[in-house]
Amino acid sequence: MGMCNLSAPGADLMLARLAAREQVPLGVSTVASTAMESLIEEAEGHAWFQLYFSGDGVGTFKLVERAKAAGYKTIVLTVDVAEVGRRPRELRHGFTMPFRIGPKQFLDFAAHPVWSLSTLFKGRPEMANFQRDGYEFDRTESRTRADWDTLRRLRDMWPGNLVVKGVLDPDDAVALRDAGVDAVQVSSHGARQLESAPAPIHALSAVRAAVGPDYPLFFDSGLLGGEDVVKAYAQGANFAFLGRNLQFAITAGGEEGLSQLWSVLRDETSITLAQIGATSLAQGPLAASLSSD
Ligand SMILES: Cc1cc2nc3c(=O)[nH]c(=O)nc-3n(C[C@H](O)[C@H](O)[C@H](O)COP(=O)(O)O)c2cc1C
């Protein structure tokens, strides 16, 4: 997730420390609020770089080189933001990136003094990967110029693992697999992009059927607890990612809140597996009788 430090100062680094401790990958956004070099270091290497294509792609490919130099071994190309979705809540609150302070924000700050004071002391969140010379990002710039040639170029220049995130259509997943993509991430961007997109948990089993049993398939969108994680595996995922609930935990309870959420997730997952007679998530087919609703 981009701009995590809007939740609380230092949120990115909290997530990086969690990744290091639990040995799970931290998704480092193109628009992260901490520089990609600091995050992979804090995560002790457990970090994947998420790439947005934008404009004519020149900046995009520069970021790929930079990620390589920083030691990233996995790139996740997100393809479900052809244009930034119209997000009424962001519009209502006057949210823009880079973050701009107007009269609405002053009212908001007054209503949330703890957040305002800590952010005042720690500095306002910035798109940290773009604070160096030669790196620019305009969030509103169209990303529709990315096509299959762009993917081929990325595949040719990136020797590490390449994941494509934001796939819901089984035919797309097969075409990506055949284009040399190492894993596909079924996701609807948490329904923040296209309100009418199919529910990713329903798309997942169709994508699994299309790509075959052995192709790595990842999943995110709407997983709230450990039972949901088991359901994602039951529908064919090999790995599940969590987004907003991690940020909510940080907002509510800081780094301690994040650790607390993680142990709840672990307990819920373990207890769900026990209820269905499985001893590990790898026994996914055993869980296939769980309803995805
Ligand atoms: C505040 C916020 C920022 C996000 N930024 C990015 C991003 O920069 N790149 C990306 O690929 N997805 C981004 N996403 C989408 C998430 O990676 C994820 O797909 C989505 O939140 C669904 O997972 P969840 O339901 O567990 O939150 C963002 C989501 C949120 C809520």
Each domain of the chain, given as residue ranges in start order, spans: 4-83+127-290
The string of pLDDT tens digits covering residues 68-109 is 999 999 999 999 998 888 888 888 887 777 777 778 888 888
Question: What is the Å distance from ligand 1's center to 180 Cα?
Answer: 25
d(CA 250, CA 12) in angstroms, rounded, equals 10
Lowest-confidence segment of 21-35, 75-89, 103-117, 223-237 by average pLDDT? 103-117
Q: How many CB atoms lie within 10 A of CB 280?
A: 10
The string of pLDDT tens digits covering residues 102-158 is 788 888 888 888 888 888 888 888 899 998 888 888 877 888 889 999 999 999 999
Catalytic status, residue 93:
no
pTM for this structure? 0.93
Helix and strand counts by DSSP (H, E) for the chain = 11, 7
Chain center to CA of 93: 23
Options 3.30.70.2740, 3.20.20.70, 3.30.420.40, 3.30.930.10; CATH of 4-83+127-290: 3.20.20.70
Residues contacting ligand 1 via CB (< 6 Å): 1-2, 29-31, 50, 78, 165, 187, 189-190, 220-223, 242-244
Q: Is 34 helix (H, G, I), strand (E, B) or coil?
A: coil
Binning pLDDT at 50, 70 and 90, where does residue 287 land? very low
Mean pLDDT over residues 264-283, rounded? 92
Percent of the chain clearing pLDDT 90 (strictly above):
70
- Residue 44 belongs to what H/E stretch? none
